[in-house]
Structure 1
Amino acid sequence: MSEHPSHVQVGAAHLTIADVARVARDYQPVLNLAPDALERVNASRAWVEQTVEQIAVAKANGEKPSAYYGINTGFGALAGRSALDSAYLTKVLGRNLIASHSVGAGPFFDEEVIRATLLIRAQSLSKGYSGVRPLIIEKLVAMLNERIYPAIPEQGSLGASGDLAPLCHMLLVMCSTPVPDAADGIDLHLDDTDGEAFVPVALDNTPLTDATYLHLTQSRTTGAQTLWKRVPGAQAMAQAGGKIELLAKEALALSNGATVSAAIATLVLQDAENLLANAELVVAMTLEGMRGFRDPFFPHIHRARGHQGAEHIAAKVLRYIDGSTLLDPGDLHTNPSRVPPQDPYSVRCAPQVMGTIYDTLEMARRWVEMEVNAATDNPLIFLDLERDYKTISGGNFHGEPIAMAMDFLGIALTELGSISDRRMFNLVDYNTNKTYADPDNKIEPLHGLSGFLVDEPKITEGLNTGLMMLQATSASLVSDCKALAHPDSVDSIPSSASQEDHVSMSLNAARHAREIVKNIENVIALEFLCATQAIALQLAKNGNEHLTIGKGTQAAYDCMRAAGVEMLTQDRVLYPEIRQALHLVRSGALVKAAREATE
């Protein structure tokens, strides 16, 4: 991160997930290239310009120029066709790459994804292996600081050679069409179709017509909505100093790499870590609502397995329930009042399941942060090579690290939702006789919960559905995730005359993981509603007036009540409370309150 606490500086240091999220979501200003990065970028660009000069000299002497992939040759399967000897044609080569690859489909990415993409691409080029001018990176930074929002369709990338289609849509907005050079005597009359970008409708006073394309985005945490209008790229870029003409190698350097996949993955990972933190808390609240046992969360059992992730999760739950008298009194010093001290697996095995999810997110973080700070175009320039041909062709553009990270993360979060749904089911159908068949050790009636979490008097028994349908909604969301969690990285379809014979599908993996996160955020929000109601029902029973819940669970319970989630006494419309609970999950407000109460 930059030394300046209120800015992120390109090339200054290792960018973290939090750095990217602050720029993408909070509009944190971005500083231009750090001095060391500027030196690296200038050095690699100098070699490219030297190579272009050598090509010009060869032409002037009537000699055949040397072929340098990415500088004066075609791309992919066209790489060996010819070696261009014209400065104009090398620029046309880049323009044709952008024009021919701007073929995306589907809905447009949200602004936060585009902003993350711009930052990650700038960071990648700042490594000094790509041969671009500093001006290119400065233009990306200007687009961020001026809030330029290219309209980029979500679909069309195979994740190798990177995210070609979406990045070329971005470049269509950013870059101008090459101007013919009189010295070359060539004018190919290129297609100068502009790209498209979005500007806020509130900032554009021109009247809307039937032909106006409108685009709505919504803040994940605040819910604030922005209405955008689609305009030509040149109109949007005027705010950032206008378009830029690309020179040799720059179009390829800008379009190579799984950068959009990494952008989504970065935001997905931040949301997934927030989601797991909420899940730790909601397990504690559900445990209180069931008046369950502490035993499964003591460190002894997890150390016996050697599972640090499980021990980490269990410690969080124990911290939240510290001080609870609503739970079974059994602890490390006191025998449980009911035996065996065994809650359903969805509670008892929560540390093992969620500990594995924690481990999975740690692995995904390592891969995603690697990609955020990686040089991912091809070829890369290594000035320390002894040979004159300073480029090395490789496959850093291949999105496999992002594809597998998002596949594993999607599977892990689907499990997080699945086990949450099972806890919810137990709460809305907590029949004591089903749980303890032995009449001698059966839960006392005071420990049970009313069917569907609504306590009805005899006169209206059967009249109210209670919270039954929250679990039905949860089941629907989890089922959707089971389809979305099918791994994308195992699906490779060859393209480009089989030159690109194995691809990662990283963008599909990231997009699907993003949808899984959204679904499971709702599932956890629904469990918070059920757990809050279960706690209220337990505390309202005769004889329970003296009982209390843990410091952390109490803080979260109070936060839910302060947000307008009231005890359910008869059926009412619940979607406003679901929406409010979702906001509390996404914003991290519940976790923040619980952590502050237990510090």
Structure 2
Amino acid sequence: MTGPKMSPHAGATLRLWKQLQEIKDKNQIVLDGNNLDISSIVAVARHGVKPTISTDEHIAKQLELSVKTLSEYLSHKYVVYGVNTGFGGSADTRTSDVLDLQVHLLQHTQSAIITDADKDPAGNSEREPSHVMPPAWVRGAIVARANQNLRGHSAVRLCVLQSLLDLLHNDITPMVPLRGTISASGDLMPMSYIAGAVSGNPDVFVQVGKGKEARVLPASQALKESGLSPSGLGPKEALGLINGTAPSVAVASLVLYDAQQLVLLSQMLTAFASECMGGNVEWALPFIHDARPHTGQIEAASNIRRFLNGSKFVDGLESRKRTGDGLWQDRYSTRTAPQWIGPYLEDLLLAQHQLEVELNSTSDNPLVNASEQGSGEVYSGGNFQAVVVTSAMDKTRLALQMIGRMLWSQVSEIIGPNTNNGLEANLNPSDHENYTMKGIDVNMSAYMSELAALAHPVSSHVMSAEMHNQGINSLALISARRTMEAADLVAHMSACHIYVSCQAVEMRANHIRFLSAIEGQLKDVTSNGAFRDLGLKESQVETLAGLLHPIIESTWYHWNANTWRDRIPQVVDVVVAPVTDYLATNEHDCSMSALIAFKKHFQRIVQNTAGDMFYPSPTIAPTEVVSQLGDGSAQLYTWVRSNLNIPLHCGLKDDPLYNAREGLSTADKKTIGSRVSSIYESLFKGGMMDMILKGLDTGRVSPQVCVSCFAQK
């Protein structure tokens, strides 16, 4: 998936990831007002990269010109909104106290809720919900605001923008309230707390440091301890700092970075689900999608084919399924996945473009059009209206909801005995009744319900505000916050899907191994063979084996409502009639006692073979499973079984409480929730997505399998 054949969405997702790796390696970002990207936001917000301002003289000169142009404007007694007028619906007032007016602006916008528990997270033993933004969001907003102001349209001095970045360089993160902005005149409230930190407000609080060493201090004290001076704010500088889209676009950038990867992962999970259910995946063939040539649909099908490449668990790509019984075509959750995912790949590319443009736009008001000839102008407009961010986030959140709905359906079908093509109910590999994956089934419905509730457009809930001056407003940050929640829910669902799929495909591989062993016993012409008591010729054994194997296979998979042990009597009983018919048709003389002996011997074969292959006996080795998987699922399965050391879950005897009660060791026993949590944590923070994207970048999608890497059950 590299080079010219890289598909659009996968290519964009990979580019974001590669850019982030390069930035982290260089540990450097230089801001110039025109080249900030989503990866840079992620690098600063989540990975501690410290941005600097370009030393390009043109940038410094443009900033200086914008300040001079505003000063000249004011010298003519011209009216400039927010500089010598009131704000919003109060813009009909006038003042000559231009510096105090900027303090007035911060005063009325620093009006949201931060609790004592927020200021003392170490003492919050009751885990009260936070009323402040995660520090990563705030760091992202700082770098976005600095970059937007660097464009020289805001009359904000270079030293003030440097003061913004000084916060990052000294690990000072303002505590910004989570709620209180409608993203109308930009995100005034969130940015006012950041501006309050820069200006050293003693009742604006900041976090200094990270982790266990983090402290919460008044901004004035934090600046003093760091050797920084409070930044005085000129005639438009408070307005220039807070009047814009920086918090919204920063949070949206973080969300989109994750969402792009989750949607790519969903295509890999669709391939995995098809393997779990032994699918007929001819639905992924190029002809079908070329006949309906939507770009996203074609890409999704192509990606899924790539992830299925080499799989021994599916038909329809390398080999066609021409005859047979059972459900002939896969259910909608996999068969129509390219059509389901495709439109949202296109939407997400548009969302990414919208955010990348916004990161390098001037989004405050009024705007200064500075000129070296001294004939600059100041214009009032509405670039702070962040609907472009709302649009990007509402699209992204709907895409996540649709992806989640598909994953929910796939997991439900994999767990359910009526839809999973022969695997045991609840994916129980034990010989005793267990409810193994039933809790996951319920959890997925809970996640899906919450995700669906979030999918409603935020933009449809706009309320007029601020003396009806803000009659329409974007709610962009609210939309970004809701989308962040949606992305987290899809990450929950993806972790469940991966855990369930690893369980299912291992069970599928074990069933295939068992049925192959039974087929070998049917074809065995020695005294150990299944037909030894019937006195058949070698050719007759071969013919009868070919007749019985599909009957045994379909019967074995059909009786899957309980345990593997419950299938054995059904398989033994089903072979008697066809064997009798064959003997009669071929006029082969066989006594009733010989038929009874055959049935008993065949029953022993099935019982012994199953007993040797299914739990509590050692089941199939992970190395044997991974060698049969497609290129995509092989990565996920290897990661779970090898890197995370998560084994097949075999029911009650894997439960820590059961083992503790029985006086057995609990050292390697975990709840199902702990196993899924390990996968969830590994998705972004533990390197799983990095592993997947690195494979795409190098063109080596499937991992090199190391036998010793796998934990043994």
Say whether the fold is shared (TM-score over 0.5): yes
**Which residue in 2 is equivalent to 1:6?**
27
- Report how far residue 161 of structure 1 moved: 0.5
Larger Cα-atom Rg: 2
Report the Cα distance in structure 2 between the residues aligned to 1:66 and 1:274, rounded to whole angstroms. Answer: 51
Deviation per CA, 1:101-123: give whole Å up to 9, x if none: 10123611111101100000001
The answer on whether the counterparts of 1:12 and 1:34 sit within 8 Å (CA) in structure 2 is no
In structure 1, give the amino acid aligned to 2:104. Answer: N
**Which residue in 1 is equivalent to 2:566?**
none
Report the Cα distance in structure 2 between the residues aligned to 1:478 and 1:385, rounded to whole angstroms. Answer: 57
When residues 498 and 387 of structure 1 are mapped into structure 2, their CA distance, relative to the original with a 3 A threshold, is farther
Matches within 5 A, 1:216-365: 228-238=214-224, 239=226, 241-328=228-315, 330-331=316-317, 334-338=320-324, 341-365=328-352
Report the Cα distance in structure 1 between the residues aligned to 2:690 and 2:506, rounded to whole angstroms. Answer: 20
Q: Which stretch of structure 1 is more off in the superposition, 572-581 or 74-83? A: 74-83
**Which residue in 2 is equivalent to 1:80?**
92
**Which residue in 2 is equivalent to 1:455?**
429
In structure 2, give the amino acid aligned to 1:37. Answer: I
Helix, strand or coil for the counterpart of 1:31? strand
Report the Cα distance in structure 2 between the residues aligned to 1:127 and 1:358, rounded to whole angstroms. Answer: 32
The answer to whether residue 102 in structure 2 is matched with residue 69 in structure 1 is: no
Matches within 5 A, 1:199-598: 199-200=208-209, 228-238=214-224, 239=226, 241-328=228-315, 330-331=316-317, 334-338=320-324, 341-383=328-370, 390-431=377-418, 448-457=422-431, 460-461=432-433, 464-541=434-511, 542-543=514-515, 548-562=628-642, 563-571=644-652, 572=655, 573-586=671-684, 587=687, 588-589=689-690, 591-592=692-693, 595=696, 597-598=700-701
The answer on whether the counterparts of 1:33 and 1:126 sit within 8 Å (CA) in structure 2 is no
- Partner residue of 1:40 out of 62, 67, 76: 62
- Partner residue of 1:137 out of 146, 157, 161: 161
TM-score, normalization: structure 2?
0.71
The two structures, once aligned, show a CA RMSD in angstroms of 2.4
- Report how far residue 247 of structure 1 moved: 0.8
When residues 240 and 378 of structure 1 are mapped into structure 2, their CA distance, relative to the original with a 3 A threshold, is farther
Helix, strand or coil for the counterpart of 2:240? helix
Report the Cα distance in structure 1 between the residues aligned to 2:232 and 2:270, rounded to whole angstroms. Answer: 55
Q: Which has the higher helix share?
A: 2
Report the Cα distance in structure 2 between the residues aligned to 1:72 and 1:363, rounded to whole angstroms. Answer: 39
- Report how far residue 266 of structure 1 moved: 0.5
- Partner residue of 2:113 out of 105, 108, 122: 105
**Which residue in 2 is equivalent to 1:438?**
none
When residues 41 and 385 of structure 1 are mapped into structure 2, their CA distance, relative to the original with a 3 A threshold, is closer
In structure 2, give the amino acid aligned to 1:232. Answer: P
Q: Percent identity?
A: 24
**Which residue in 2 is equivalent to 1:51?**
73
Unaligned runs of 5+ in 2: 1-18, 115-130, 517-619, 656-670, 703-713
Report the Cα distance in structure 2 between the residues aligned to 1:168 and 1:366, rounded to whole angstroms. Answer: 28
Deviation per CA, 1:498-524: give whole Å up to 9, x if none: 111111111111111111111110001
Report the Cα distance in structure 1 between the residues aligned to 2:254 and 2:347, rounded to whole angstroms. Answer: 16
The answer on whether the counterparts of 1:320 and 1:594 sit within 8 Å (CA) in structure 2 is no
The answer on whether the counterparts of 1:552 and 1:594 sit within 8 Å (CA) in structure 2 is no
The answer to whether residue 297 in structure 2 is matched with residue 196 in structure 1 is: no
Q: Relative contact order (C-alpha < 8 Å, sep 6+): which is higher?
A: 1
- Report how far residue 372 of structure 1 moved: 1.1
The answer on whether the counterparts of 2:202 and 2:219 sit within 8 Å (CA) in structure 1 is no
When residues 132 and 47 of structure 1 are mapped into structure 2, their CA distance, relative to the original with a 3 A threshold, is same
Report the Cα distance in structure 2 between the residues aligned to 1:135 and 1:160, rounded to whole angstroms. Answer: 27
In structure 2, give the amino acid aligned to 1:233. Answer: A
Report the Cα distance in structure 1 between the residues aligned to 2:59 and 2:427, rounded to whole angstroms. Answer: 60
**Which residue in 1 is equivalent to 2:103?**
95
TM-score, normalization: structure 1?
0.84
In structure 1, give the amino acid aligned to 2:306. Answer: R
- Report how far residue 46 of structure 1 moved: 1.8
When residues 589 and 382 of structure 1 are mapped into structure 2, their CA distance, relative to the original with a 3 A threshold, is closer
When residues 553 and 336 of structure 1 are mapped into structure 2, their CA distance, relative to the original with a 3 A threshold, is farther
Report the Cα distance in structure 1 between the residues aligned to 2:289 and 2:300, rounded to whole angstroms. Answer: 10
In structure 1, give the amino acid aligned to 2:157. Answer: R
Helix, strand or coil for the counterpart of 1:305? coil
- Report how far residue 304 of structure 1 moved: 1.2
